Structure 1
Amino acid sequence: MAGVTVVGAGVIGLSVAHELAGAGHRVRILAAQDAAASTSGVAAAIWFPHDVQRSGSVLDSAAVTYKRFEELAGDPRTGVAMRAGTVLSRRTDADHSWTRAVPHHEPADPAGLPGGAGGVRCTVPLIQTDVYLAWLRAEVEARGVEIRTAEVRSLPEDCDAVVVAAGLRSAELLGDDDQAYPIRGQVVRLANPGLTEWITDEDNPEGLAYVVPRRHDVVCGGTGEAGSWDRTVDPEVEAGILRRVTALVPELAGQPILSRGVGLRPARSTVRVEAVPGHSRPVFACYGHGGAGFTLSWGDAARVAALIGAG
């Protein structure tokens, strides 16, 4: 098969195109906006299966992606680094199934955690989104993939196969899915006072909190408002985020704000990676990754490539 069109140029669409081109297909990408302008560009982009059902296939894809990012971390051009940090647990029934996809992890020392909290220490990939997405796009183009800016309103006809990897727009394009929905995520980026370790606190009684230090800033979040399409920055929400993250990491107090952002995570009851029947040519879905687009990107791209086969 030749002539595969990938709809979507976020981290999922670019990864799928990369793997399909590597399998010998002639590939093009159609997307209304560049990856940097998509939800992928707003993400904190730390490896973790957030806002996604942690099924066996999801954890398998997460493990594949972990290994790929671990390899890419050896090349500074990619913007990928391996960073140590802590996943806080405030419930006795906390879901630690994700640790299956992490080669090394251990219980966190309670002495360094908020009262009553436990945690898991591990080292995971951290992706500098602007650097990585630019690198990935260049790699995709080097494989002969054409990237075209276009407002896609229906499945393209002028190709042999289509992969729909358009995030929240995917369900609309396919017209057969009522299980997709947005999860609004708001972040604030602070100057980095020298932090290298990340921390996540999904069960914080005041709301979701995470601190993800990057090269020149710290991504602080966040929110998880299911069903909200609001892309505007809410000052009151930001104030709450800053209270939570400075309580977790006091070194952040007083750090200047560098930028703000809101992204709509493309969530679904389950991640959809499958052939879609009922079309005149092969159509494949790859969307519904919630807050785990980077975390599942290489694994799910490989799954799509396996579904389509060699070119």
Structure 2
Amino acid sequence: MMSLFTLQYFRITMSNIRIGVLGAGVVGVTTALELQKEYPSASLTIIADKFGQETTSDGAAGIFRPASSFCGPTEDISRQWINDSYYYYEDIRKSAEAAHAGVIQMSGYILSSINKDIVQNHYLEKLLPLFRRATEEELSLYPGNWRYGTFYTTLVTECRKFLPWGMHRFEEAGGQVKNKLLSSFNDVSGDFDIVVNCLGLGAKYLCSDHNMVPIRGQVLKVNAPWIKTFLYGDFDTYIIPGIEAATLGGCRNYDSYDLRVNRHDTASILERCTALVPSLKKASIIREWVGLRPHRSPVRVEAENINGLKVVHNYGHGGYGVTSAPGTAKHAVQLVKEMHSARSKL
């Protein structure tokens, strides 16, 4: 146990610590909020050159559905990230803040005509309140030769609401925000005791990380308020209702940096989604969106000393940033505590 003197010293050093969070997407914002929980009296600053609707997180459908291939450094750590993230969002959903944060519960199907592995998920089957095989009758509800299916209840987090909600909470609690484009860690080395790197694809350049790969995605946001159930089909086809619009997708262009809307991708998405749900033919398109998923395997959450600057990395979530951000944020905060504790003992 800590002595009274040690505990008081620990609290004093905690209040004096200066922490910078690089990046203002869903990973950066959740990390900043978790740091505020741990260090309520510390000086905390989010540094980014893109905020809110400028971030990759803004276009995400936000459904809580990690791929079975999603991975951290170990199986146990990956599962902990997923579990922590689910309960983080579930706590918000059950709170009075749910509508402001954009967190809702939703049920739906994942269907396949090819392989039963597509509809299975070892992360979700024991975590979610409902996760079961679809019946033959349910498989026949949608056009197509569906042979395998799973029905489950999960969460959707609308980042167009969650990001401004999170930023407001951060600033209301005394957090600072700085608009700055970083070219190296030297740009912040004198300003903070510890920096948490949540730059997503930007970390590829800041860290010279050749394991970081963009995976281009394109989606359509459509007005289809009658769609209440999410659906996944083969070939990366998905329909995910949201609070303000439904998201239709999608595509996965590995190692593509093209941020232009591709009319052929739009046509393909519409063809596949309307084949699955014909009523979508009457849905009006609100916007077309392209983003680059910051993919790394494994996702990097680790501490490093860079030319005397203490850095905790938290990036590489790919298309599962919303799904896994709170869990990796909690892990990153633990690493910050360890680095700070080691520093305090010097």
Q: Same fold by TM-score, threshold 0.5 exceeded?
A: yes
Give the root-mean-square deviation of aligned CA atoms: 1.8
Q: Equivalent of 2:198, from 165, 169, 174?
A: 165
Spell out, residue by residue over 1:194-217, the C-alpha distance to the aligned partner (whole angstroms, 9 max, x if none).
Answer: 11110122xx2xx31110111232
Residue of structure 2 in register with 1:17 after alignment: 32
Q: Equivalent of 1:112, from 138, 156, 167?
A: 138
Structure 2 residue 265 is the aligned partner of structure 1 residue 237: yes
Distance in 1, matches of 2:278 and 2:83, equals 33
CA drift of 1:306 comes to: 0.9
Contact 1:11 1:35 in 2 (8 A): no
Equivalences for residues 291-302 of structure 1 within 5 A: 291-302=319-330
Equivalences for residues 213-232 of structure 1 within 5 A: 213-232=241-260
Distance in 1, matches of 2:68 and 2:59, equals 16
Single out whichever of 69-78 and 223-232 deviates more from structure 2: 69-78
Single out whichever of 177-186 and 47-56 deviates more from structure 2: 47-56
Single out whichever of 133-142 and 285-294 deviates more from structure 2: 133-142
Residue of structure 2 in register with 1:84 after alignment: 107
Residue of structure 2 in register with 1:252 after alignment: 280
Q: Equivalent of 1:136, from 150, 162, 166?
A: 166
Q: Which amino acid aligns with 1:91?
A: N
Distance in 2, matches of 1:259 and 1:120, equals 30
Spell out, residue by residue over 1:83-130, the C-alpha distance to the aligned partner (whole angstroms, 9 max, x if none).
Answer: 011122431344521224424311112333342431221111111221
Change (3 A) 1:197 1:266: same
Structure 2 residue 121 is the aligned partner of structure 1 residue 121: no
Structure 2 residue 203 is the aligned partner of structure 1 residue 180: no
CA drift of 1:50 comes to: 4.1
Contact 1:22 1:143 in 2 (8 A): no
Spell out, residue by residue over 1:151-199, the C-alpha distance to the aligned partner (whole angstroms, 9 max, x if none).
Answer: 1111111210111100001121123x21100000000111114111101
Q: Equivalent of 1:62, from 53, 67, 82?
A: 82
Q: Which amino acid aligns with 2:226?
A: G
Residue of structure 2 in register with 1:97 after alignment: 122
For structure 1, list consecutive stretches of 5 or more residues without a partner in the other structure: none
Equivalences for residues 179-198 of structure 1 within 5 A: 179-198=211-230
Residue of structure 1 in register with 2:44 after alignment: 27
State the aligned residue count: 306
Distance in 1, matches of 2:167 and 2:69, equals 25
Q: Equivalent of 2:58, from 26, 36, 41?
A: 41
Distance in 1, matches of 2:87 and 2:105, equals 11
Q: Which amino acid aligns with 1:73?
A: R
TM-score by length of 1: 0.93
Contact 2:102 2:243 in 1 (8 A): no
Distance in 2, matches of 1:52 and 1:16, equals 23
- Greater relative contact order (Cα 8 A, min sep 6): structure 1 or 2? 1
Q: Which amino acid aligns with 1:65?
A: S
Contact 2:222 2:248 in 1 (8 A): yes
Distance in 2, matches of 1:117 and 1:16, equals 41
Contact 1:51 1:291 in 2 (8 A): no
Spell out, residue by residue over 1:29-75, the C-alpha distance to the aligned partner (whole angstroms, 9 max, x if none).
Answer: 11011032110011111111149624432232111111111121133
Q: Which amino acid aligns with 2:203?
A: S
Distance in 1, matches of 2:182 and 2:128, equals 37
Structure 2 residue 226 is the aligned partner of structure 1 residue 200: no
Q: Equivalent of 1:212, from 240, 244, 252?
A: 240
Distance in 2, matches of 1:261 and 1:270, equals 26
Single out whichever of 270-279 and 31-40 deviates more from structure 2: 270-279
TM-score by length of 2: 0.84
Contact 1:186 1:233 in 2 (8 A): yes
Distance in 2, matches of 1:110 and 1:40, equals 36
Distance in 2, matches of 1:92 and 1:84, equals 20
CA drift of 1:136 comes to: 0.9
Contact 1:188 1:221 in 2 (8 A): yes
Contact 1:30 1:148 in 2 (8 A): yes
Residue of structure 1 in register with 2:92 after alignment: 72
Distance in 1, matches of 2:104 and 2:301, equals 27
Change (3 A) 1:288 1:52: farther
Single out whichever of 89-98 and 13-22 deviates more from structure 2: 89-98
Q: 1 or 2, which has the higher helix percentage?
A: 2
Q: Which amino acid aligns with 1:197?
A: T
SS in 2 for 1:288: strand
